[in-house]
A and B are shown apart, each in its own frame.
Chain A
Amino acid sequence: MTTKTPPLAEQLKSGLDAPICLTWELTYACNLACVHCLSGSGRRDPRELRTAEAKDLVDQLAELQVFYVNIGGGEPMLRTDFFEIVEHSVTNGVGVKFSTNGTYLDRAAAERLVELPYLDVQISLDGMTPEVNDAVRGEGSHAKALEAMGHLRDVGFEDFKISIVCTRHNVDQLDEFKALADDHGAQLRITRLRPSGRGVDSYHDLRLTNTQQRQVFRWILDHPEVLTGDSFFHLNALMTETGDPNLPGLNLCGAGRVVCLIDPVGDVYACPFVIHDEFLAGNVRDAGGFARVWRESALFTELRQPASAGACASCGSYDACQGGCMATKFFTGLPLDGPDPDCIHGHADEALAAVAAGGVLVPRPSQDHSRPGTVGVALTRKR
C-alpha cells in the first residue's frame, strides 16, 4: 500500500496512545521458587492492589482500549479474588491471557475457566521430564503442570498454551514439547530466557550456546505455528548470514513503546524483564492513573526517542536485530547501546569477559520477594 507515512516499525518506536498489550503481575506470592523467575517471586507484598483497585485498573484499561492483558505473578491463582478480577476483565472487553504453574488448576477451576470468553491459559513448563523441569522449577512441578494440562483437555479447553523458556537443558526437547501440545489440543509457546529477577543468578548456567541459538532460529522458522512472543528478535541478525527471512513479529524492543509491566503494587515498568528502579515509570495509584504514566512519564518519553546504535553501528546486522534486548544487556552489566550478550556474531563476548573478570558493577534487581531458604536448586553447566 502506498503511503507517505514512515514505516510502521518506526512509528511504533515513537509509542502508541496505549499499549498493544501489557503484562500485569497480580501477586509476588508463589508456591514455587523457579531459579529463573523474572519477578523474583515468593512472598506476597502486603501493599499489593486490593480487589477494588484491581477492578478499577481493569476499567482504566478498557477505557484505553487495551485489548488484552497478560496476567502473571508470582502465581496469580493464589489470589483469593483471582476469578473476580479475571471475570471483571473479560466481561469489560479486556481479554485475559494468564500464566500459571498449574498447581491450583484443578478440575473445578478448569470447568470455570472454560466457560469464560476472551480467556487464554498458559501453563509454564521448562522440561519434558521431571529431571529437566524440576531442576529449574522445583520438586513436583512437572507433575502438577501435566495434571493441569490434563484437566484443561478433559473439560475441552481448546488451544490453551504450553509455555517454555528455552534453556540449554531443554532445547533438544522442542519436538517433544510440540508433540505434547498437539496431544492436548494446545499451542506451544517458546520464549527467550532473560537474566531478570532470580534469573540474574541462573542466566549464565541456563542460557543457550551460540550453536543452540542457531538451532532454535531454524526450529522457529520450521514451525511458524509455534508462538514466540517476538522474544527472539535478536536472532534476526542471522538473516544476513543465511538469507533466511525474518522471524515473524514486530522485531523491535517494545519496552515503554508498545508494551509495559504493571507489578502487584501498581508500579509501572518499561517491560516485564526490567523490574528495577531505573525502569520504573510511575504507579497506577498516582494522580492520573495508568494513562498518565503511559503517556507522560519521563522514562517512557525517553524510551520513545530514536535509539543510538552505539557500538553496533558498524555491524551490518543492526537493522535486523536492533541490538537485541535492553533488559538482557542491563542485567548482564553491558552498555544499553551495545550488543546483546547473546549476539549471534559474538560481538558481546569481549565485554562479557570483562564483566566476568570484575571491575564492572552488574545491576541487581531492586527488590527480591524470594522466600528465605527456597532457592538453591543445583544447576550444572552443560557445555
Chain B
Amino acid sequence: MTFDAGGAHRLSPRVGLRPEPFGALAYHYDTRRLVFLKDPLLVELVEALVHHPSARAAVDRVVADAARRPSFLAALASLAGSGVVEPQHATLRETA
C-alpha cells in the first residue's frame, strides 16, 4: 500500500508505543516488529495524526520548521510501510 500524504492517518491500534529518552519504541503486535522513533517530535507527530484530516496537515501543524517537513513526511511513509501508521479507515475498508 502506498502512502497518501493527503489522507487521514492514525497510529495503528495494533501498535504499542513506549516513550524513551531518544523518542519512542513502537512494537507491532501482529508483525512482531520493533521500530525506533528516533525523534521526540516524530512521536508527537504520530500521536497527533488522528486529529488531522491528512498526514500533511498534521506535519504542517506539528513541525514548525518548514525545511524539516519533507523528512518527517518521509518518516511517516516509512512508518506506514511497516504498519505502525495506517489510514484512519483501514479496518473499515478491509472488512467491507
Listed in ascending order, the chain A residues whose CB lies under 8 Å from chain B are: 1-3, 5, 8, 11, 16-18, 20, 65, 67-68, 93, 95, 117-118, 120
One of B5-13, B29-37, B47-55, B88-96 contacting the partner: B29-37
By DSSP majority rule, is chain A's interface helix, strand, loop, or mixed? Answer: loop
Within 8 A of A (CB), among B22-72: 22, 25, 27, 29, 32, 34, 36, 38-39, 42, 68, 71-72
Can you list 26 A-B pairs, Cβ within 8 angstroms, ordered by A? A1-B39, A1-B42, A1-B71, A1-B72, A2-B68, A3-B38, A3-B39, A5-B22, A5-B39, A11-B21, A16-B20, A16-B21, A16-B25, A17-B20, A17-B21, A20-B34, A65-B16, A67-B18, A67-B29, A68-B27, A68-B32, A93-B16, A95-B32, A117-B29, A118-B29, A120-B32
- With a cutoff of 8 Å between Cβ atoms, the chain A residues found around residue B42 in the complex are 1
Q: CA–CA, A20 to B1, complex, Å?
A: 28
Chain A residue nearest in CB terms to B65: A2
From B16, B19, B42, name the one whose CB has the most chain A CB atoms within 10 angstroms: B16
Please, which residues of chain B bring their CB within 8 A of the CB of A68? 27, 32
Q: Is the CB of A8 within 8 A of B36?
A: yes
Do B27 and A67 touch (CB < 8 A)?
A: yes
Please classify how large the interface on chain B is, using the bins under 10, 10 to 19, 20 to 34, 35 or more. Answer: 10 to 19
Cα of A349 to Cα of B34 in the assembled complex, Å: 37
Name the B residues within 8 Å of A16 (CB-CB).
Answer: 20-21, 25
Q: Give the CA-CA distance A2 to B20 in the complex, in Å.
A: 18
Contacts of B32 in A (CB 8 A): 68, 95, 120
Q: Kindly provide the distance from the CB of B93 to the nearest chain A CB, expressed in whole angstroms.
A: 22
* Bound-complex Cα distance A18 to B72 (A): 27
B74 to chain A: closest residue by CB: A1
Question: A20 contacts B25, CB within 8 Å?
Answer: yes
Closest B residue to A120 by beta carbon equals B32
Give the CA-CA distance A8 to B16 in the complex, in Å: 20
Which of B19, B22, B71: most chain A Cβ within 10 A? B22
C-alpha gap A8/B22 in the complex (Å): 7
Q: Is the CB of B22 within 8 A of A11?
A: yes
Q: What residue in chain B is nearest A18 (Cβ atoms)?
A: B18
